[in-house]
Chains A and B, each alone.
Chain A
Amino acid sequence: MNNFAVPILGIQGIMPELLLSLAAVLILLLEMTAGDREGHGALSLSVAGLILAFIATFGADGKQVFSSLLVNDNLSALLDRVFLMAAFLVTLVSRPYLANYGLAKGEFFVLLLLATVGMMVMGAAMDFITMFLGLEMLSLSLYVLAGFFKKDVLSGEAAFKYFILGAFATGFLVFGMAFVFGALGTTNFAAMAHTLSAGSPPFPSVPTLLFGLALILAGLGFKISLVPFHTWVPDVYTGAPTPVTALIATGSKAAGFAALVRIFMITFPGSFQFWGAAFWWLALLTMIVGNLFALVQVEIKRMFAYSSVANGGYLAMAFLSHSDVGIKALLFYLFAYTFMTVGVFGVVSLAGRRERLLISEYAGLSRENPFLAAVMSLFLLSLAGMPGTAGFFGKFYLFAGAVRSGYLGLALVGILTTILSFYYYLRVIVYMYMRESEMPREALELAGSGRTALVLAAAGVLILGCFPNLIWISIEQVF
């Protein structure tokens, strides 16, 4: 009967996504008609779209729209805000960055907006089909963005590797989805959960379902760069234009965790007994490998690439905690992580006229550009987990959640590796403040949007570090 019913469109349910898409289309039109050499128009439109979309996320009503393909609940709204904030800050940093290389073109901002829409669709998906749609929208945009510097070999290499390996991992993901569909006969999350809770067929007796879930975990593990699915991270993060790296490290990773939460915690809560033990090892390895390998890096982007892997490990630990506290800690850390990571990559974007500076080339930055050095120090201290910054409460909730769920050993490793991370984070501060620069290094002019982005990110780090309740309250509403 339903087959003939007019689907409930529910435009209001996808308002944020629509607004962003509209902004993307307008930028394309602007590019074609008026010509927007310096990217000011694209920046303005992007910013307007992002802000409007951010406001629109407060209209979450918990309803499923488009025949239950998407849901508009508190969780998706909260994740949308993470994505939008990341995209907003990255957009602000991008224009002066791109202008430096003469590449401030509208299509960059279009792709950035579309990638964001992809993340939001992933966060709101209630069906494998929409989730995959969102994932591909995100991934394809990012592949192009990673290779945006056409003449830069490393940028091209990054795009190529990202694409090949991403396609490889996506293959596993789709394969897994197919197996799950085969086992349960539906792609809709609610329907799958319903089928399982009806009791037939019970979990262990369906190896195809578990097989599918394992492959999905692997596919998403690529997105969140769990060890050993992290191998692309150092090369891609280093090669891609730095603002793109920032987006990959924050928004894309957050989208991966959003999908994990939707599938493994909300749809298949009973599956934990099967993947818990294996995932424990992955989280452990990710924390150790990320922090350990970051220690000896000489190039700052590569170091932050490993640091991002390590942070993925902390987030994975929270996801593993599988408890109320754990998931709240995960969401909180996503906010904190977004601010500080976009912050460091923002500084890296603007600190030199050349890509891929060495850590030693940050010597004397405090003298030449005290503002950059100061906010960089703040973000680094936050990453290290210094009290008074967002990173402190983020880590505090993470470890508290892990301990409460009985993962004392994992939390201990997390704390030990955090101590390890102090070394490479503080090393940058040492260079900036205690070493003289050997050669003059020209920083970008910090006018306008770049400075705004860094100030906003720094404010976010400090506000979350002093008043964590501001975010915690909206997180409490999710569950």
Chain B
Amino acid sequence: MENGQGIITAFSTAEPFRWVGLVWLVPLFPAAATLLNGLLGRKVIRYRTGQLATVAMLGALIVSLLCIWDIARTGQPYNVDYFIWIGVGDFQLPFGFYVDQLTAVMLFVVSFVGTVIFLYAIGYMHGHPGYWRFFTYMPLFAVMMFLLVLGNSLPVLFVGWEGVGLCSYLLIGYFFDRDYAAQAGRKAFIVNRIGDFGFLLGMLLLYWTLGSVRFTDIVEHAPDIYPAGSVMITVITLLLFLGATGKSAQIPLFVWLPDAMAGPTPVSALIHAATMVTAGVYMIARLNLLYSLAPISLLVVGTVGALTALMAATIAFTQREAKRILAYSTISQLGYMFLALGVGAFDAGIFHLMTHAFFKACLFLSAGSVLHAFHEDRDVDIFQAGGLRRYMPMTRLAFLVSAVAIAGIPPFAGFFSKDEILFEAFAGGYILFWGIGLTAAFCTAFYMFRLYSLLFSGEFRGTEHQRRHLHECPFIMWFPLVILALLSLVGGWVNIPGLFPKFHAFLRPVFAEAHELAGPHRELAGARIWEISLALLSVLVALTGIFAARLCYVQLPKLPHWFAETFPSLFIASLHKYWIDEAYQATVVKGFYSACRLAQWCDNRIIVAGLNAFAALIRHLSEIGTQLQTGYVRHYALAIVIGVVFLLIGMLL
């Protein structure tokens, strides 16, 4: 194994120096912060833990930028093995990193959004008990997320994958003394385990059939080993996708994400909107070649994505709590990303991942700012808010910018990425996906402006006591909001179709092979005309959604009531989230409990009882046996004689 020398190869290579060689520093900075805060945070560092973690994250950001610059400059992926991690017989798995254009994008998103949110959290978490605990888990999350995006093999990715899951669990249950938070943490963990099981099976199957789990080997050998559309590759990719549905909250495993809002808002912004939940998207994009070999899996990915996008958006219509609405919005937007992956537009999916990270983080942080003003940890009922634009102008501005961005109005970031997904779906001939996506776009604009209107427009509907305490957040919180709002505005400009398609050009090497295998038909007749007209159509749809929301919640507040009374079934179905939680409770959870009770019965009645009977038998034998020990020497001598006779017979006959 040419990488067997481990650290030595990595550091004393004769190759020319590359800045990306410093990539090992990226997870090291937050790791150091975790270690320091975890060990000394409670007694020694105390309220400096936040600053320490943020500085560490800034260090990671700077190194990440150097790496990205290197990758952009040279265009060469960087693969390095540090040491043999698992060595069992012939199976030698090194621990190593792989940095290419896709990794670069993820590195940027994680380190940049991470730094901004850490900064925000210093202000947001101020005065909370367990401040140090928060700033121990958060950098740990960053470490794991970096491992996830940097790992050069599936097992390393899986370490990060499980690691972020653990941190997610710890941070959802950050207020562990509150029952709902502890429950939500458990729910997230258990639901994710189901997905991880699929992931693990897929990974093992891949190793079994391909003989390697390293990305470079997969890219090299997969097309030779798996014929396109073969059963094995379809099974593998579907199993891996099951893992993605858990982590990225897609049908059928999306139910944990809305509950995960029990964590502090910076957690929701970083983990449950911008980074961790996109891990599934990243994983499929990373394994794009495998998915291109399995058209059925791609179709499943696309279908699940489209359905999730629409379903979550319609649930968001009727929810009352700000963060919960944003959670459904996240699920819906992740659906878009999977829709993009499903139609083979991997680059569009990653593009949306990036812009979504900006505007969704901004939305969450703005919501957090509102919570902060309400002195509320959990969530705020938007029907008890209203008129906040007067009290919180910066927050309102940031929220408005990012809401416009997510709604898909040019020239904001969301327009470019979302419109591209829709166009790719249309161009690839997936007209149904396109139709669902367009409908979901309308819904997105509607629920987002419903949220905006109820929070910031009109008059304040809360208590007088609350009203007196309303205030704009401090600088350390609104400064990150401004940065993210700015990026929600300009973040999409890195890829303007026709004029400035830099982002796709950057990512092209990663997906080139997959595009050849299964890419959409890019030569749509009169593509430019189609593209412009479709863009106009989706802008029109988004504007309609916005105006509808303004109409319902500002101009004619009676309208929603009328709607709910006229179509009660639709309203109630959305309000109850289509009863999916209840269905799971009735089938999976109840079924599991029944199985447990059966197992308990078997244990008590069959196994334990059987064992006890056997033990009684042994004891009985033992008691009978010891009576042979009479104490008389003559009996003992007889035993010896019997032994001698036995030996004589045994040996002579």
Interface positions of A (Cβ within 8 A of B): 160-161, 164-165, 168-169, 172, 207, 210-211, 213-215, 217-218, 221-222, 226-229, 231-232, 234-235, 274-275, 277-278, 281-282, 289, 292-293, 295-297, 420
Contacts and interface: CB of A to CB of B under 8 A. Distances in A.
B636 A274 contact: no
A275 B621 contact: no
A282 to B, nearest CB: 8
Given A218-B644, A289-B625, A420-B618, A165 B633 contact: yes
15 contacts: A165-B633, A207-B652, A211-B651, A214-B652, A218-B647, A221-B647, A226-B643, A227-B643, A231-B640, A275-B651, A277-B650, A278-B649, A281-B646, A296-B623, A420-B618
Interface string B258-272: 000000000000000
Nearest to B631: A235
A275 B647 contact: yes
B640 A229 contact: yes
A278 B647 contact: yes
Contacts of A211: 648, 651-652
B643 A229 contact: yes
B561 interface: no
Interface residues of B, number: 25
B463 interface: no
Contacts of A295: 618-619, 622
The secondary structure that dominates the B interface is: helix
A161 B636 contact: yes
B646 A292 contact: no
Interface in B603-653: 618-619, 621-623, 625-626, 629, 631, 633, 635-637, 639-640, 642-644, 646-652
B622 A292 contact: yes
Given A278-B646, A292-B625, A213 B651 contact: yes
Contact of A210 (B618, B622, B642, B651): B651
B619 to A, nearest CB: 6
A75 B373 CA distance: 84
Contacts of B643: 218, 221, 226-229, 282
A235 B626 CA distance: 12
The secondary structure that dominates the A interface is: helix
Contacts of B622: 292-293, 295-296
Given A172-B644, A227-B643, 13 more contacts: A165-B633, A168-B637, A214-B644, A214-B650, A215-B644, A215-B647, A215-B648, A218-B640, A218-B647, A278-B649, A292-B621, A292-B622, A296-B619
B626 A232 contact: no
A352 B648 CA distance: 45
A440 to B, nearest CB: 30
6 nearest A-B pairs in the assembled complex, by CB-CB distance? A278-B650, A231-B636, A228-B639, A228-B643, A295-B622, A218-B644
B369 to A, nearest CB: 55
A227 B631 CA distance: 16
A231 B650 contact: no
A160 B631 CA distance: 12
Contacts of A172: 640, 644
A234 B651 CA distance: 28
A342 B636 CA distance: 26
A234 B626 CA distance: 10
A293 B625 contact: yes
A293 B626 contact: yes
Contact of A231 (B621, B639, B644): B639
Contacts of B644: 172, 214-215, 218
Contacts of A168: 637, 640
Interface in B458-502: none
Nearest to B623: A296
Nearest to A280: B650
Contacts of B621: 292
Nearest to A172: B644
Contacts of B626: 293, 296-297
B652 A165 contact: no
Contacts of A165: 633, 636-637, 640
Nearest to B620: A296
A420 B652 CA distance: 35
B39 to A, nearest CB: 28
A281 B622 CA distance: 19
Contacts of B635: 231
B610 to A, nearest CB: 15
Nearest to B634: A164
In this complex, the member of B631, B636, B642 whose beta carbon has the largest number of chain A beta carbons within 10 angstroms is B636
A234 B629 contact: yes
A295 B615 CA distance: 10
A168 B643 CA distance: 13
A203 to B, nearest CB: 11
In this complex, the member of B621, B639, B647, B649 whose beta carbon has the largest number of chain A beta carbons within 10 angstroms is B647
Contacts of B629: 231, 234-235, 293
Contacts of A277: 650
Contacts of A281: 646, 650
Nearest to A160: B633
In this complex, the member of A169, A235, A275, A293 whose beta carbon has the largest number of chain B beta carbons within 10 angstroms is A293
B640 A169 contact: yes
A314 B621 CA distance: 21
Nearest to B646: A278
A168 to B, nearest CB: 6
Contacts of B633: 160-161, 164-165
A222 B640 contact: yes
Contacts of B650: 214, 275, 277-278, 281
A275 B653 CA distance: 11
A170 B533 CA distance: 110
A164 B638 CA distance: 13
B631 to A, nearest CB: 7
B323 to A, nearest CB: 50
A207 B650 CA distance: 13
Contacts of A221: 643, 647
Nearest to B643: A228
Contacts of B648: 211, 214-215
